[in-house]
């Protein structure tokens, strides 16, 4: 089946996917599976601070983190769990603040 690309969203970040497991789709492309975090290329940890190597996470520089959202993502077929902290950090932000709001200063 032809993958239908979701409309380009003005993503707040260029976060890609990092996942615990891998599967290969019909086109022979590696896709994230299982537990998925957001990861920014060039860093050695996830957006939520998990060290990739220590956690055994596989990087997917060709898969946007936004595409792993089971609700809307194009490559979420095998995704079992999306890290809420990574998601909250802007992986699929739509106008939401990137970080938790702190107590307003007077
Ligand atoms: Zn995470």
Distance 78 CA to ligand 1 centre (A): 17
Distance 38 CA to ligand 1 centre (A): 6
Residues 6+ apart with CB under 8 A from 39: 15, 16, 17, 18, 45, 46, 47, 52, 57, 59, 60, 65
Distance 17 CA to ligand 1 centre (A): 10
pTM, two decimal places:
0.71
Question: pLDDT by residue for the chain (106 residues), tens digit each?
Answer: 555 555 444 444 589 999 999 999 889 999 999 999 999 999 999 999 999 999 999 999 999 999 998 888 887 889 999 999 999 986 444 444 444 555 666 6
φ, ψ for residue 33, nearest 5 deg = -145, 160
Distance 106 CA to ligand 1 centre (A): 33
Distance 19 CA to ligand 1 centre (A): 10
């Amino acid at each position: 089946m032809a993958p239908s690309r979701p409309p380009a969203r003005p993503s707040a970040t260029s976060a890609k996917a990092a996942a615990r497991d891998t599967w290969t789709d019909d086109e022979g492309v590696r896709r994230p599976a299982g537990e998925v975090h957001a990861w920014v290329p060039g860093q050695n940890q996830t957006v939520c601070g998990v060290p990739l190597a220590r956690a055994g996470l596989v990087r997917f520089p060709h898969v946007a983190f936004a595409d792993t959202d089971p609700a809307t993502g194009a490559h979420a077929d095998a995704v079992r769990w999306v890290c809420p902290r990574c998601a909250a950090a802007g992986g699929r932000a739509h106008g939401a603040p990137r970080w938790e709001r702190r107590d307003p200063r007077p």
